[in-house]
Amino acid sequence: MNFKFSVVKYFGPSIMKVEMPKELINILNKYVDEILLDDKKKSELNHGEFLIGDVTQEFKLENDFIHKSGWGNFLVTCVKKWIEIENNQTIKEFKIKNSWIVRQFKNEYNPTHWHAGHISGAGFLKVPKSLGISSQKKNTKPYFGGNLQLIHGSKMFLSNSLLSIEPKVGDFYFFPNYLMHCVFPFKDSNEERRSISFNALIDENIYNVYGN
The string of pLDDT tens digits covering residues 165-207 is 999 999 999 999 999 999 999 997 889 999 999 999 999 999 9
For residues 42 and 57, give the distance between their C-alpha atoms in angstroms, rounded to a whole number: 9
Residue 31 inside a domain? The answer is yes
Binning pLDDT at 50, 70 and 90, where does residue 151 land? very high
Residue 7 inside a domain? The answer is no
Q: Residue 137: pLDDT above 70? A: no
The string of pLDDT tens digits covering residues 34-58 is 999 998 998 899 887 777 888 989 9
Residue 125 inside a domain? The answer is yes
Strands ordered across the beta sheet of 110-113: 110-113, 180-183, 148-151, 162-165
Residue 33 inside a domain? The answer is yes
What pTM value is reported for the model?
A: 0.93
Task: Kindly report the CATH number assigned to the domain that includes residue 103.
Answer: 2.60.120.620
